[in-house]
Structure 1
Amino acid sequence: MCTVSLDTPHTVAFVVASFRSDGSLQSARTLEGNSSMKNISLLRFVQTIFLIACLLPGDSTAADWTQFRGKDGLGISQDTSVPTKWSSTENIAWKVELPGPGASSPITLGDQVFITAYSGYGLIPSEGEQAKLTRHLLCLDRKMGDVVWRKEFAPKLPEHKYQGEGSYHGYAASTPMTDGKRLYVFFGKSGVFCFDLKGSQIWQADVGDRTNRWGSGTSPLLYKDTIIINASVESGSLVALNKDTGDEVWKTGGIRSAWNTPILLSGKRPELVVSMSDHLVSYSPTNGKELWRAEGVHRYVCPSVVHHGNIVYAIGGGHTSLAVRIGGEGNVTESHGIWRLKKGANVSSPIYYKGHLYWTRDGGTVCCQNPENGEMVYEERFRPGAGRIWSSPVLADGKLYYVSQHKGTFVVAAKPEFELLAHNIFEEDDSRTNASPAVSNGQILLRTDRFLYCIGK
């Protein structure tokens, strides 16, 4: 509900407006003053005032994709008329060449797109010298893809050595996050950076100095006035920073082998849930104190947790999926554990949609799972073969978008019967894709190691 004061030479009135969950105006009424305005005029007037007052530039809207896996971290967009088919020449609004590769996703805020990349080291076919490693932060124009501003900064060395498939994600794997007024970027042992929307750095904070041969890949998360970082690699901890100053608010240790971004659950008791080796653990996002833990994945964990209602779902380790009811205390494995199955994904995060879980294995097998008991509804291998899939799917307009490393994007109907709707390839771009897509204003933003594409008209 929004209250607007109207002060004119002829009337003084307070208008109380009620809005639906999608942002549309449901009703409006005057509390006092001249009430002779026709209802339709009042509705139009209040709608205009509301748009001006509440949707100022810099404030995020429902159409913005403001963090890893979207506004709620669940990989779901409410946009409609999202493209199903595209190619290098079909359904492309624009594309821009990036300064280097990266596994981070783009995010959007109004007429701005933000994305990270790296260059100078860890490049195919020659890895180069680590001393030349440079990280990039770019702001692009949402409509045309033009570079508005860019930042370059050297990392704290030594970084993890580029070797083998474990380093394929490179050195720009964390997705930026915005609160609508500022931008927050995480670069592992180099720290967390805060910028204003014009590219001026406000602060930088360290959250640990360790590295790992698998690199760093978790993304910032906003909770009230804090930025929460899963610094499992850097310091084995969760760290909350004041979003205005970068000062540490709280820090909790014991975070092991967790390459996933935690998820926030609202309610009477807010919870911050992270999946780590052997345990699924919930913390208070206010002070970092542990609330409960349950038996989890018995290996490293890359996929983020998803939830529906009071149940969280975790997958990982390549062979485990499980469901736990939230709200407990202590070890809740027996009291709140719902089911556990020896099937799961290794890297890609799941999606919950209309009573089903959807996810994909590394090798290109797409799965649909019953969230009530864990039973598999279908397991289908993409044809033609998808090769390896490390990015997480997104859902929009009743469609699931699975992006493979080298075989393009597979679009699947979001229903319990497998139906491949389209297989889309950029014929002129053979670079790798590890990044998850973003969806904004009916368009898909998809990055490869060479380009960022805006798909749709």
Structure 2
Amino acid sequence: MQATWTAFRNGGGSGEASLKRLPLRWSPTQGIAWKTELPGYGQSSPVVWNGKVFVTAVQGPMRERCLVHSCELKSGKLLWSRSFASSLLHEMSYYVSRAAPTPVVDSKAIYAFFESGELVGLDHAGKPLWSRSLVKEYGTLTNEFGIGQSLAQNADTIFVLVDDPGVAYLLAVDKKTGKNRWKVAREPRKSWTSPVVTKQGEKEILIVSANGFVEGFDTKDGALLWSVDRITGNIMPSVSVDGDLVFVGATPAQARLARPGSRTAAESNCCIKLTTKDGKPGAEVLWEGKKATCDFASPLSYRGLVYYVTAAGIVFCVDAKTGNALYSERIDSPCWASPLAIGEHVYFFGKNGITTVIKAGPVFEKVVSNALWDTQNPPKTKEPFATTPNNPANAGAARASSPDSLDPILYGYAALEGQLVIRLGSHLFCLRV
């Protein structure tokens, strides 16, 4: 029985769950084992280790506190909360990240990163092991929408990607001490994608897809092993890795950020093949995309097919070997979270709490559509939010008056044998078979 979900998309980067079964049908009155309201607000996905659910949040009108919570998986009971002062204050707004980076967990500790620059390690009982402020060490972050890069990990290291117009770097941090193993400076840029740890031959690498490039780094020393350029729109979706194939997600949003001579956003939803020549790792574009795009959600590679879903809820399915389009269909809700595959099914978790489950395969077939909450009595957050641009850095918040951007919003999930833990801004839901 799988009792862990260790990172964003479980760290594998594929979106495929190695499970035998998940809840297939539920409603606001059936299939929900428990619901828990938590202090603060967060957009990160939950992570799970042997009976404990860990989740991050921020709290206060200016996001003054960074929070790490632990809940009992069996009952949803809050076991402990730890609070850290934020190094970078900013109004709580629907258009600025709020505890967006997903933490990672292993057998010894949970490691959390916040958009204010806080990077912390805690044991499973909530005892702080170490903490750092990357803003104080390396400079303030200036992206008006905040940052959202989730952590990646291997056995002894966590990897932190910071892509910001002010400062940008890739960091490897020792889990035990919280100290740097290495740091690589990057060209400043806007990007919210998350790195993925995988194997290329016998070498462990870190793949970073971010605003113009997809790059492979050696996890031991941060050396750049290969780079694919001319990518447009890879600013939010992360890559999906399936063996020696890397599927890039790209969005047409903010296409103005594209560099001259780049592929279109559709072409940038491409497949990169990992290669080895004369003993050296490399990469080459196997095929370019045609029409399929995605927005927030990362692509899903499963059983020889690749699924992309837009924020509006359009699902594209293409052949993994050729990129040839098989279908494009609209599901029952807008979709921000990355899709999940298990057995014969693919799950699309709609931002409005409606999850569409389709049959895995080259022909679109909807199996069921499940609502998580009653629209007449939705779960609400108690956190204060700014909905007007009270300062220049928060100008985007004016758009948050649109119902499309307001609570409740389904942000992420953890999948366990027979269970789904689903995260809203201030709530956790647990679904059970």
Are 1:206 and 2:133 matched, yes or no? Answer: yes
Q: Is the 8 A contact 1:179 1:222 kept in 2?
A: no
SS at match of 2:116: helix
Structure 1 segments unaligned to the other structure (5+ residues): 1-60, 122-129
Tell me the equivalent position of 1:6: none
* Alignment equivalent of 1:250, drawn from 182, 186, 191: 182
Tell me the equivalent position of 1:449: 425
Are 1:187 and 2:105 matched, yes or no? Answer: no
SS at match of 2:275: coil
CA shift, 1:328, in A, is: 5.3
* Alignment equivalent of 1:114, drawn from 35, 54, 64: 54
In structure 1, give the amino acid aligned to 2:174. N
Tell me the equivalent position of 1:29: none
SS at match of 2:247: strand
CA shift, 1:366, in A, is: 1.0
* Alignment equivalent of 2:296, drawn from 328, 347, 366: 347
* Alignment equivalent of 1:433, drawn from 386, 409, 412: 409
Structure 2 segments unaligned to the other structure (5+ residues): 253-264, 380-406
CA shift, 1:224, in A, is: 3.3
Q: Is the 8 A contact 1:175 1:219 kept in 2?
A: yes
Change over 3 Å in CA distance of 1:100–1:398 after alignment to 2: farther
SS at match of 2:412: coil
Paired residues, number: 379
Are 1:151 and 2:127 matched, yes or no? Answer: no
- Highest Rg: 1 or 2? 1
Instruction: Give per-residue Cα distances to partners, 1:198-219, cap 9 Å, x unaligned.
Output: 0011111233431311211111
Q: Is the 8 A contact 2:12 2:241 kept in 1?
A: no
In structure 1, give the amino acid aligned to 2:345. K
Tell me the equivalent position of 1:227: 158
The correspondence of residues 261-340 of structure 1 with structure 2, limited to 5 A, is 261-266=194-199, 267-318=201-252, 319-320=265-266, 321-327=269-275, 336-340=284-288
SS at match of 2:71: strand
CA distance in structure 2 between the partners assigned to 1:97 and 1:229 by the alignment: 29
CA shift, 1:433, in A, is: 2.2
Instruction: Give per-residue Cα distances to partners, 1:10-42, cap 9 Å, x unaligned.
Output: xxxxxxxxxxxxxxxxxxxxxxxxxxxxxxxxx
CA distance in structure 1 between the partners assigned to 2:368 and 2:41 by the alignment: 26
The correspondence of residues 27-426 of structure 1 with structure 2, limited to 5 A, is 62-121=2-61, 130=62, 133-159=64-90, 161=91, 166-167=95-96, 170-207=97-134, 208=138, 209-233=140-164, 235-254=167-186, 256-266=189-199, 267-318=201-252, 319-320=265-266, 321-327=269-275, 336-342=284-290, 343-382=292-331, 384=332, 386=333, 388-406=334-352, 408-425=354-371, 426=373
Tell me the equivalent position of 1:38: none
Change over 3 Å in CA distance of 1:453–1:309 after alignment to 2: same
CA shift, 1:300, in A, is: 5.0
CA shift, 1:368, in A, is: 0.8
CA shift, 1:158, in A, is: 3.1
CA shift, 1:326, in A, is: 1.4
Point out which structure has higher relative CO (alpha carbons under 8 A, 6+ apart).
Answer: 2
In structure 1, give the amino acid aligned to 2:196. I
CA distance in structure 2 between the partners assigned to 1:214 and 1:277 by the alignment: 15
Q: Is the 8 A contact 1:306 1:352 kept in 2?
A: yes
In structure 2, give the amino acid aligned to 1:174. P
Q: Is the 8 A contact 1:82 1:397 kept in 2?
A: no
Change over 3 Å in CA distance of 1:335–1:104 after alignment to 2: closer
CA distance in structure 1 between the partners assigned to 2:155 and 2:19 by the alignment: 26
SS at match of 2:411: coil
CA shift, 1:178, in A, is: 0.8
CA shift, 1:353, in A, is: 0.6
SS at match of 2:5: coil
CA shift, 1:289, in A, is: 0.8
> TM-score, normalised on structure 1?
0.78
**Displaced runs of 4+ in structure 1, greater than 3 A?**
none
CA shift, 1:398, in A, is: 2.6
